[in-house]
A and B are shown apart, each in its own frame.
Chain A
Amino acid sequence: MIRRIRLFLTQHIDGFLLTVLSVTMLLGLFVLYSATGQNMDRVMNQFISIVVALGLMWGLANLPPQHMMRFAWPTYVVGLLLLVGVALFGEVSHGARRWLHIGVARIQPSELLKIAVPLMLAWYFEKRERTMRLSDFAVAAVMLMVPVALIAKQPDLGTALLIAASGFYVLFLAGIGWRVILVLVVAVAAFAPVAWSLMHDYQQQRILTLLDPSQDPLGAGYHTIQSTIALGSGGIFGKGWLAGTQAHLDFLPERHTDFIFAVFGEEFGLFGVLGLMVLYLLIVARGLYIAANATSMFTRLLAGSITLTFGTYAFVNMGMVSGILPVVGVPLPLISFGGTSMVTLLLGFGILMSVATHRRLVKS
């Protein structure tokens, strides 16, 4: 009986992945405690988000990939409709139209697209597996660019670029030709001046600020200057948990959300940072391993894309805090305060686990 319950609970869970994820999230709670100025309410809040997200992850892990395929295009279509809804009726907050009121709740449809886009593209390539041609990649590219354009228009450039990346990973893993990639790179380079002129002032400002943060030390450059000081002053061993001066003297803005990595780097130093990077790399490595051993086109592409996107999130956030990437609103995965991003991330890992464990069962 107990064995059966245990089997029910764990048969679709990837033990390795769960362990590394849990260690990372636990570490995150400690950092959050420090970053919020020892606010236990915030930590409890985050803990509850984690528990809920883990539950959802478990649910998705138990859903065989064949079933997920059925949800691919409905999820994508619903996501697109919601984005159009946002563009038409969305609620403006801080100058951007990102939220949509549906009855009681307020949702940010771009979060849904983070899962829906790779799901849809992986499904599409699965259907086209036998006859794959250049035109299929063109169709897939369109399916990718429509939501990306809608999100970029909100404007939420950071999320748009990350979703574009997740879709690009699917195209890349599906085998888009190297020459096409070369052409794309050239095209993007050529398009850059046009994109620049389409950007909002504040977006341009952020990129200019990256090149020279001292240009606007009161506004956009303030974040970067302060977070670099936090990181640099942390040194090799860090100032110790709860002892970061930058963080606690109010110099660091958004220090429990997008800039939490600065608090971490200040208090735990280079060793701490190295440790966190190892955790992230372990997760990425495990994900790639699962993708490499997946049995169908759909599961391979999906698992590969989810894993690489996760790595991208971590890279972009750490890059922005350390001042080598522009400031875009991307949280540090598994660490930053915020329930929505936690749920989206763990749903992704639920899919990975489903891919990993159902393969085993099919074989046996």
Chain B
Amino acid sequence: MTRGTELRNHQRELYYFRVRLTVAGSVALFLFLTLLARFAYLQIFQHAHYQTLAEQNRISIVPITPNRGLILDRNGVALAHNFTAFTLEITPSKLKNMEQTIDELATLIEITPKDRKRFKKLLEESHNFESLPIRTRLNDVEIARFAANRYRFPGVEIKARLFRHYPQGDITSHVVGYIGRINDADVDRLEASGDLANYRGTDYIGRAGLEQSYEKELHGATGFEEVETDAGGRAVRTLSRTPPTSGSNLTLHLDLKLQQVAEKAFGEFRGALVAIEPKTGGVLAFLSKPGFDTNLFVDGIDSQNWDMLNNSPDKPLINRAMHGIYPPGSTFKPFMALAGLELNKRTPGYTINDPGYFTLPGSSHRYHDWKAGGHGAVDLHKSLVISCDTYYYGLAVDLGIDNIFNFISHFGFGKKTGIDLEGERSGVLPSQEWKMKRFKQKWYLGDTVSIGIGQGYDSTTPLQLAVATATLANNGTQMRPQLVRQIENAKSGVVIPRPPEIVSTLPIKPENLALVRDAMIDVTRPGGTASRAGAGAPYSIAGKTGTAQVIAMKQGEKYVASRISERNRDHALFIAYAPADDPKIAIAVLVENGGHGGTTAAPIARALFDYYLLGKLPTSSVTEQAAGEAEHD
């Protein structure tokens, strides 16, 4: 009986299942028939329409490139802008014989061998369906001449294009950077990030500097136009248009006038300078000397200019301000002094007797002071004013490498500052761990000695030095250095300021800060190492000179500048902020092979202070003025 019911149940169940299956199958069949109807519609009834579209490609979608955003200094002076010019362009895929066409074009319009070379390079890098410029910036006569002969040149046309121009190319090269033509690697990158659609029609992309780091903001959104074209690919009429959105404009903290003062102040010297507003971290000047004309790069640099820039012993392409690393030398001492006070290893009254050298217990090796015979009795104040080395050899040993590392890293040494540019280097603030990792060696006490005067393993970028100085001026609060002050949406006009950003705060006793500051003020007063640079200033400057060795001296050998080839001479360093009681600007200057900090580097800082605080322009190159004077470290 139960078996029978079960069997019947089973039968019923199977019946219901099959009904359901039939329903599902019917739905599937119905859906497939719908598809078939769609295909029939497309392939029979709309066939003629789509055939036209496919074969003549009648409607083409033309992207409209947005205008690239401007880069302006703090007063609204353009550092990067756009202008319209006419270019002669060739679409390689439409040509039968490229060489012959170019030869014929050359009879109408001047095409130099340089133009040809550049065009060839563009051709190698590009996809063959885009049109490439063979000549840029045509004049009216050239345009008229080509227009009359246009019928002879299918695949060649004149186009109005926006060009990027850097009016201050040389001076702002390492800040603003430049754009370059998009290459295959860029295309891959854009594809991966999903931005490729927005770059249809865009030929350029930021390659260096702010042009690179703010590419997203500067580029804007591409618009497009649906146009009807004839068989030859010429636009007949526009069907619809969606306008592009221009890129945002960047306004910098940077003051172009101040930057120009800095550039001029360097004269013929190479080096770097960074000036920062201590309270905000805004970068007021950012210079790497020599610069180069960034305009050369916009349309693909020709090989002659490239070789010249790339092989120059002056290395203009290197951004010394954040990519060059140098020993900080004596500019390291204020931070050491502060460490000594804060960690209770030194009191203001603690005095050493400097015989002119320092020895470690149980060793005969002499670490020399820059002054043979020594400075006599030296306390903390004097140690900074006259830059006594012996004082800091001893202090470094008393502090020990771990304390030095832990304290001084708060000022940003040994790590990237986080400035809004790409390619920053982090320098080295050595530690036991670092040495083990780098050299697979343990730390020796002897290593610590030279750290005290900013030599040995110590290395820093001028930018880091400026950040450290600004941090000192800002009572221990480190701000992230920022070039861009605000971003303005070109369409809506909405201005978005970049707020100042605190990186870290180190609580330092005000009396200790005052001790170091007072000593640094006396550095720029009579008796200090930068007294001439400070002479006659109506505001107070807190500064510290420094010298970084390029070649090592043998034990007991004497450094005589005139005997050493120019490129092996010491680098001159100077850090300072002013006014000392209410700092508005902090500066780090590095002059390559400049000799002594007080002689070449400090006057440059003074010129900037005078302009920034008093609005006074220097009369002549300050380094020339100082060249004859002799001062030490």
Contact = CB atoms under 8 A, between A and B. Distances in A.
Contact of A318 (B35, B63, B194): B35
Interface string A309-338: 001000100110011100000000000000
A173 B35 contact: no
B42, B226, B240: residue with the most chain A Cβ atoms closer than 10 Å:
B42
Contact of B17 (A284, A300, A315): A300
B17 A270 contact: no
B47 A236 contact: yes
B194 A233 contact: no
Contacts of A173: 17, 20-21, 24
Contacts of A281: 29, 32
Interface string A282-314: 001100100110000100100010001001000
A308 B226 CA distance: 42
A214 B28 CA distance: 30
Contacts of A322: 35, 38-39, 42
Q: Could you tell me the dominant secondary structure of chain B's interface residues?
A: helix
A133 interface: no
A269 interface: yes
B432 interface: no
Contact of B20 (A175, A285, A324): A175
A355 to B, nearest CB: 14
A274 B35 CA distance: 10
A169 B24 CA distance: 9
Contacts of B47: 232-236
Contacts of B25: 284-285, 288
Contact of B43 (A232, A311, A318): A232
Interface string B219-242: 000101010000000000000100
Contacts of A235: 43-44, 47, 51
A292 B61 contact: no
B35 A277 contact: yes
B32 A232 contact: no
Given A229-B54, A236-B44, A315 B61 contact: no
Given A234-B43, A284-B25, A246 B20 contact: no
Contact of A228 (B50, B55, B226): B50
A265 B39 contact: yes
A281 B192 CA distance: 38
A217 B42 contact: no
B197 to A, nearest CB: 5
B352 to A, nearest CB: 58
Contacts of B197: 218-219, 222
B46 interface: yes
A265 B54 contact: no
Given A217-B226, A228-B50, A245-B54, A236 B43 contact: yes
A288 B21 contact: yes
Contacts of A218: 61, 63, 197, 200, 222, 224
A94 to B, nearest CB: 7
A308 B38 contact: no
Contacts of A228: 42, 50
B43 A270 contact: yes
B54 A217 contact: no
Contacts of A292: 17-18, 21
From B24, B31, B53, B61, name the one whose CB has the most chain A CB atoms within 10 angstroms: B24
Contacts of B61: 217-218
A231 B39 contact: yes
Nearest to A269: B43
A54 interface: no
Given A173-B17, A245-B54, A231 B32 contact: no
Contacts of B35: 277, 315, 318-319, 322, 324
Q: DSSP class of A's interface residues: helix, strand, loop or mixed?
A: helix
Given A217-B61, A277-B36, A284-B28, A231 B42 contact: yes
B16 interface: yes
A308 B42 contact: no
Nearest to B43: A270
Interface in B150-182: none
A265 B46 CA distance: 14
B40 interface: yes
Contacts of B616: none
A137 to B, nearest CB: 14
B114 interface: no
Contact of B50 (A231, A270, A315): A231
Contacts of A246: 54
Contacts of A229: 50, 53-54
A3 B452 CA distance: 91
B202 to A, nearest CB: 12
Contact of B28 (A175, A232, A311): A311
Interface in B196-220: 197, 200
A273 interface: yes
A318 B29 CA distance: 14
A234 B46 CA distance: 10
Given A218-B61, A229-B54, 18 more contacts: A169-B24, A173-B17, A217-B224, A228-B42, A229-B50, A231-B39, A232-B43, A233-B53, A233-B55, A235-B51, A270-B43, A270-B44, A274-B36, A277-B36, A308-B28, A315-B31, A315-B35, A324-B38
Sort A-B residue pairs by CB-CB distance and give the 10 closest, nearest first.
A232-B50, A233-B54, A232-B42, A270-B43, A233-B50, A235-B47, A219-B197, A233-B51, A311-B28, A217-B61
30 contacts: A94-B194, A172-B20, A173-B17, A175-B17, A214-B240, A217-B226, A218-B61, A218-B63, A222-B197, A231-B39, A232-B47, A232-B50, A232-B51, A235-B43, A235-B51, A236-B44, A245-B55, A246-B54, A270-B39, A277-B36, A281-B29, A285-B25, A288-B24, A300-B17, A304-B21, A308-B24, A308-B28, A315-B28, A315-B32, A323-B38
